[in-house]
Each structure stands twice: as structure tokens, then as C-alpha cells.
Chains A and B, each alone.
Chain A
Amino acid sequence: MSAFLLNRLLQSIVLLVIVSIIGFTVLNLMPGGPLAQFGLDPGMTQKDVERLAAQLGLNRPLWMQYLDWAWRLLQGDWGHSFRDGSSVLTVIGRHLLATLLLMGTSTAFAIGVGAWIGIRGATHRYSLFDYCATVGAMVALSVPTFWFGLIGIYIFTLKLGWVPAGNMYTIGDGSILDYLHHLILPSLVLSLVHVAIWSRYMRTATLDALSQDFVKTARAKGVSERRILLKHVIGNALLPMITLAGMQLPSILTGALVTETVFTWPGMGRLFLDSLGYSDYPVVMGLLIFSAILVLLGNLIADIVIATVDPRIRLA
């Protein structure tokens, strides 16, 4: 077990290095580099900019700058926002919870509904339900999240008036019920694509489990189909889904960015777009690296969980 963990941890660290190199390259692709903001300042001459570059060490070779940047990153110095001067990690921290709340709710919903559709599709293979679920999943994967959000707002806010059109809470209210009321529509919108993905994978995994020998044995012993499904099949089918949950993180974050924009949700995606609009590059870079670290961490946790639950994996 510890060898397995160590191996996975090492792999994640190697990936972290590669991820940071990609991020650093993007940072240096920006026109003018990290000092671009001063290009617009009439009080700064070219000489001043050069002096500043020398002071900050930006005239050194790129690999040296990378090591320096990575070292400061490791120590928690992610730079300061151009907008209000507060540290990048503080700014991200202010928006992290909103995003995690949105992602968590929609993922829980997507897993529940997706698993139900997938299991039903597998046990009633080639039925009308299975056929509709298959086609429906392919269409759901093709709907742009922001368009689904707009349609949702049009129907449920403008026509029916059931839920608010955006924001996380009503100013002056802020009770838990109020938060939940604001959470419903965005998390449903964000979960659509993932319901589709989960139902497809769950169907395959259930079919896999149904064809295993232990199911045949249970049937031969005369165990009822319902009990076979609940005791033997679903548990085994859910196992690979733990890995899938980790793998889905990047696409959930992408969906969250779009959903947060449509619903003016004060999360990381909204922050990313605002920072792009203000050319607040330290925050943009910080969010880029932070989102990748979040993904790596998610995958690592998924690996650990599955190794804990399924002894076959850590022995392999």
C-alpha cells in the first residue's frame, strides 16, 4: 500500500513540474511579459522598464526565471493582484468556496441521476428507455452549457418565476434556504453534461459486472435478481466510477466557469474572467496553476480512495 502511494505521489509531483512549465510558458507568451502593465503608463520611459526588469531579474535566462518563479510558488508567494494589491492566494481563497459548493452539488446530482440511468439502461438493455438514454446522452453532450443556462433562465425564471436568475444570495437575506434557492438552477445546468457522461460509463460498468462469474454463481445459487443487483453488481460497477470522478474534474471546472458567468456566481471562473478583463495577470496565472493543482489533487485522492476500497488495485 505505501509503495503504491509513494509511486502515485511521485507521479503527481512529476506532473506538477510539467504543468508548471506549461503555465510558465503561457505567462511568457503574454506580449511584453509580466511588465506589460507598465507599457501603458505615461510616467514610465523605456529606460525605467529596463531598470525594473533588471531589478526583478527579468533579464536573466528563462530557465533561471522559471526556477525562481517555481521556488516562490512553492513558498506560497504567488504574487499580488494588480487590482487591489492583495495576495493572489487570498483572492483565490475568497472565491474558492463558491465554486466548490456549485461543483459539489452538481456532481452529487450528476452521480445520483447518471448512475440510476446507467444501471437501468444496463438491466433493461435495448429497451426503449435504454435507447432514449443513449441518444439523450449524445444530445446532452452536444448542448453548450451557457445556452442550456440561458434557456433555463428563460423558462424557470422569466416564464415560471420559480428560481432567481443569478447571484449566490439575496442581499439582506442570506439564510440557508435562500442560498439553496439560488443554487438549484446553476447546479442543474452544470450537471447536464455530467449526467450524460456518468450514465454512459455506469451502463458499461454495470454490463461488465453483470457478466462476471460471481453473478453467475449467485444466480445458480438462486439469489433473486434484485439482491444480485444491490449486493453484487452496483458495488462493483461503482468502483471504476471513483477514478472517473477524478478524471472529470477538468471538464467540471470548465463547465463551472461558463455556468458562473451566466449566473453571475461569485466563484473562481467568474474571478478568472474578471481578471482577464482587467489584465490582472498575476491572478490569471495563479488561477491557471491553481486549477491544474486542484485537478492533480483530485486525481491523487481518487487513486488513494480506490486503492483503499479495492485491494486488487494496490496488489497489481
Chain B
Amino acid sequence: MTAIVAHAAPARWWHSRAVIRFMRHHLALLGIAMITLLVLACAIGPYALPYDSLHIDLRARFAPPLTGNHYLGTDPLGRDLAVRLLMAGRVSLAVGFSAMLLSTLIGTLIGVTAGYRGGWVGAALMRTVDGFLSYPSIFLVLALAATLRPSPAMITVIIAVTSWMETARIVEAEVRSLREREFVQAARMVGLRRSHIMFREILPNAMGPIIVAASLAVARAILLEAYISFLGYGIQPPLPSWGNMLNGAQQYLASAPWLAIIPGAAITMAVTSFNFIGDGLRDALDVRNDHI
């Protein structure tokens, strides 16, 4: 089947208006730079540092930052904070990113179905969205995490299952307005299957808002993982995550404040980058500014 709508594609993808507009967005570029730095550090850093993330050295407990080779100091067990921070970054970023992929998938499927089918199917799906949104997300996530076994994969699923609703809402609204456009009517008249119209004709035209929502969803997933791991129901030690590194930090706040300050700064940096990128994408892809 040949494409029904011919897009006037620019000669090179980097000549497109969206890319040019994104490159002019300074905050978004700053976000890209920060997250690239973080990802590279987490990927390569642990090999470059002289310690193992699980190596315990009780003689070197509570060493402040910049003691010998402990650039960020050590924790109550004398483990090197720098290498733990970077190993934790791998876990936190991986969980955040996978949770975003899964929640975007769920949200898009439900949004497209609800928006295209409409009627009682659409109404039932969207009321389910409202129902999920009525729960403060952390209550639902904690209740699920406390009852199911909290492996990183399970935490990812739990976060995705409780945070797909925003995407579903955005996609549903977009699809509902696209449904009546001429190219969709043409596709219907040609006799294309419903699934083909939904996912091959309409979905590509709704990609802008989905991409924006996805970049903000990474930010939210990283925060949510940090919350539940901080509270002790997320990623379980000895596997470090940014959230669970802060778990015991409060009791050492007076004697070893770096234990609390450093992992939190990493979380803030990662989440800020994704929020900046999302903002840049929204401007570049010209998505209505209904949400923060």
C-alpha cells in the first residue's frame, strides 16, 4: 500500500524546522549536555575508579570528600561513594528509561484505542484513566512494591503501570481530532483495516505530543524510583540506586552531610536535564502548552 499522504520531507533531517528550533533552545541543549555527561560517567566511570562498589573498608568509614582516592568520600561501611554513585546511576537511569518506554507503550495503545474507537469503549478507557489519576501515585506504587517482590524489573513495571495515564490522555485527545481529518476518511474509503488506520496512518501524525510526554515521563519515573527507594520499598541493597543511597543518610546528616547531598544532587541533575529536554522538544515540535 502506498502512502496516502505525501509529506514534504526536508532534504536532510537536520535541515528540518523542528531540529533547527530545538538547537536554538539553550536549556534543551544544556539538558542534553548534562544527561550525556551523566550517562558517560555512569558507563565508563566505575572502570576508571580504583574501588569496587561493594568493597567494604571499615577503617575508612565516613571519610569526607577528597580524602585520598575517595573523591566523594565514603559511606558508613567505608565503601567509596563515587563508584557507588555511578553504579547507582546505571540502575536509576535504566529503571527510569525502561519505565518510560513501557508506560509510553501502554499509554499510546490505550490512548489510540480510546480516541479512535470512541463510544462506550473510549468512555470506559478514559474513565479508567481518571480512576488511576485519582490515586496519589506514591500510595499505589508503595502498596504494589510492598506486596510484589521488588526486583529492578518489577519496580520498572510497577512505575510504568501507575504512570501511563498522562500519555493516554494526551494521545486520546490528539487521535480524536485527527480521526475526522481527510486523510483518515480517505484511508477508510480505500478500505484499510482499522488497526492499519490507527497505527500506520494516525499514530505517526501524533508522534510530537508522544515524544514530549515521553521525555517528561523519564523525569517522573526517575523521581518516583528515588522516592520509593528512599522509603525502602524500591531497589534493594546491596544493589545501589540514587534513592536507596539516601535511605540511611538522614541519621548521619550532622556528621556526614555529603551522604545526603551528593546522591540528591545527581537525581536533581538527571531529572532537570529531562525536563529541559522535554521543554525544548515541546517548543520544537510545536505542541500545545497545556501541561507544565
Contacts and interface: CB of A to CB of B under 8 A. Distances in A.
A21 B124 CA distance: 13
Interface in B245-259: 246, 249-250, 253-254, 257
Interface string A193-232: 0001100110010000000000000000000000000000
A311 B130 CA distance: 26
Interface in A164-202: 196-197, 200-201
A64 B137 CA distance: 28
Nearest to B290: A204
A143 B148 CA distance: 28
Contact of A26 (B130, B144, B227, B246): B144
Which of B136, B246, B249, B250 has the largest count of A CB atoms less than 10 A from its CB?
B136
Contacts of B264: 143-144, 147, 150-151
Interface of A: 14-15, 18-19, 21-22, 26, 29-31, 135, 137-139, 141-147, 150-151, 153-154, 158, 196-197, 200-201, 204, 249-251, 253-254, 257-258, 261-262, 272-273, 276, 279, 284-285, 287-288, 291-292, 295-296
B275 A141 contact: yes
The main secondary structure of chain A at its interface with chain B is: helix
B253 A158 contact: yes
Main secondary structure of the interface of B (DSSP, over half): helix
Interface of B: 27, 127-128, 130-140, 142-144, 146-148, 219, 223, 226-227, 230-231, 233, 246, 249-250, 253-254, 257, 260-261, 264, 267-268, 271-272, 275-276, 279, 289, 292
Contact of A19 (B131, B257, B272, B289): B131
A138 B279 contact: yes
A147 B227 CA distance: 10
A147 B133 contact: no
Nearest to B274: A142
Contacts of B136: 249-251, 253-254, 257, 291, 295
B261 A151 contact: yes
Contact of B134 (A147, A261, A273, A292): A292
A262 B226 CA distance: 14
B276 A273 contact: no
B171 to A, nearest CB: 19
A138 B227 contact: no
Contact of B128 (A18, A151, A276): A18
A160 to B, nearest CB: 13
Contacts, number: 136
Nearest to A14: B127
A191 B276 CA distance: 21
Contacts of A257: 136, 138-139
A179 B104 CA distance: 44
Nearest to A17: B131
28 contacts: A14-B127, A15-B130, A15-B131, A19-B131, A22-B140, A26-B140, A137-B292, A138-B275, A138-B279, A141-B275, A141-B292, A144-B264, A145-B227, A146-B246, A150-B249, A151-B264, A154-B253, A154-B260, A158-B254, A250-B136, A253-B139, A254-B136, A257-B138, A273-B231, A276-B146, A279-B146, A284-B146, A288-B140
Contact of A18 (B130, B142, B267): B130
Q: Which 7 A-B pairs have the closest CB atoms?
A: A147-B264, A18-B131, A142-B271, A253-B136, A142-B272, A254-B138, A250-B136
Given A139-B268, A147-B264, A150-B264, A22 B131 contact: yes
Contacts of B143: 26, 276, 284-285, 288
Contacts of A22: 131-132, 135, 140
A173 to B, nearest CB: 23
